[in-house]
Amino acid sequence: MKAESANIVEIRNLHFRRGAKVIFDGANLDIPRGKVTAIMGPSGCGKTTLLRLIGAQYAPDAGSILIDGKDITTMSKKELFHMRSHLGMLFQSGALFTDLSVFENVAFPLREHTNLPEKMIYDLVLMKLQAVGLRGAHTLMPQELSGGMARRVALARAIALDPDFIMYDEPFTGLDPISMGVLVQLIRLLNDALGITSILVSHDIHETIGIADHVYLISNGRVVGSGSPEDLMNSDDAWVRQFMQALPDGPVPFHYPAQSYADDLWGPQRC
């Protein structure tokens, strides 16, 4: 039997551009199996795009993305859909189906991918909802949920098929401190209890480094720092320090590039 690789995802020399804008320019990443790996970076650096590349919703311009040793860039559509049934993704908005109840949302992947009897689906859905603390809300519609609850339901749906790994896209954005605390704890607990791998995209430093085993920092299409949260907090690199300590000025300048201030105020273009 083939031994499992230590990395569930291996990305090599990833190139991806959208229009003229280069998003990834030779990025290399390894996502270790069974760990919580955080991918961090400033807004617009391509964190969410990376998740979509891993999920094969976008195709890279060059490079390879290996999931369990298989290159997803060369997979057929059928193979891709099969591969996706082994991964879960939590979208920033939750992306619950608005015409289905909480129960039906969680039951959705079970109904689509399995032929389980209705009674077993009922039990499984309630178990998944119990895991995220929302068993009592199974009859509600998505419109009746708060932002934090919607994301927990989406998490229950993401783990419905017991995936090998889960990708979290900005899961903490816009949540109140209690909801955020619940979600932070759930991500870590589910990772350890289910023995899965988690990829967490976020720019909420405090919450993310609290649960991450490994962190990648991305900027300008490349990995500019990686290591344990402690390594990165104590890094000497100016960019890493600016990001991790949320400093307003540094290698990422406070001012948007412009001509000289004096020219703008007293130059010929002045109105």
Partner 1 sequence: MLVTYFYNVGHRTISFFEDVGRASVTIFNAIFNKPEFVRGTARLIKQIYAVGVLSLLVILVSGFFIGMVLGLQGYTILSKFGADQALGELIALSMVRELGPVIGALLFAGRAGSALTAEIGLMKTTEQLSSMEMMGIDPLHRIIAPRFWAGQISLPILTLIFNAVAIIGGYLVGVVWLGVDDGAFWGNMQLSVDFREDVVNGIIKSTVFAAVISWIAVFQGVDSIPTSEGISRATTRTVVYSSLCILGLDFFLTAVMFRGT
By the criterion CB under 8 A, which residues form the site for partner 1?
Answer: 52, 55, 57, 81-85, 87-89, 91-93, 95-98, 108-109, 111-113, 154, 161
* Alpha-carbon gap, residue 21 to 26, rounded angstroms: 14
Q: Where are the beta strands (DSSP E) in the chain?
A: 7-18, 21-32, 36-40, 62-67, 70-71, 87-90, 165-169, 197-201, 214-219, 222-227
The residue (of 81 and 266) whose beta carbon lies closer to partner 1 is 81
DSSP string, 209-225: HHH-SEEEEEETTEEEE
* Alpha-carbon gap, residue 9 to 29, rounded angstroms: 8
The residue (of 64 and 114) whose beta carbon lies closer to partner 1 is 114
For the chain, counts of helices (H) and of strands (E): 10, 10
Q: Provide, rounded to whole angstroms, the least separation between the CB of residue 150 and partner 1.
A: 11
The residue (of 87 and 149) whose beta carbon lies closer to partner 1 is 87
CB 227 within 8 A of CB 215: yes
The residue (of 50 and 161) whose beta carbon lies closer to partner 1 is 161
Q: Provide, rounded to whole angstroms, the least separation between the CB of residue 103 and partner 1.
A: 16
Any long-range contacts for 229-232 (C-beta under 8 Å, 24+ apart)?
A: 229/38
CB 87 within 8 A of CB 166: yes
The residue (of 74 and 98) whose beta carbon lies closer to partner 1 is 98
Closest listed residue to residue 230, CA positions, set 240, 218, 221, 220: 240
The residue (of 97 and 261) whose beta carbon lies closer to partner 1 is 97
3-state secondary structure of 249: coil
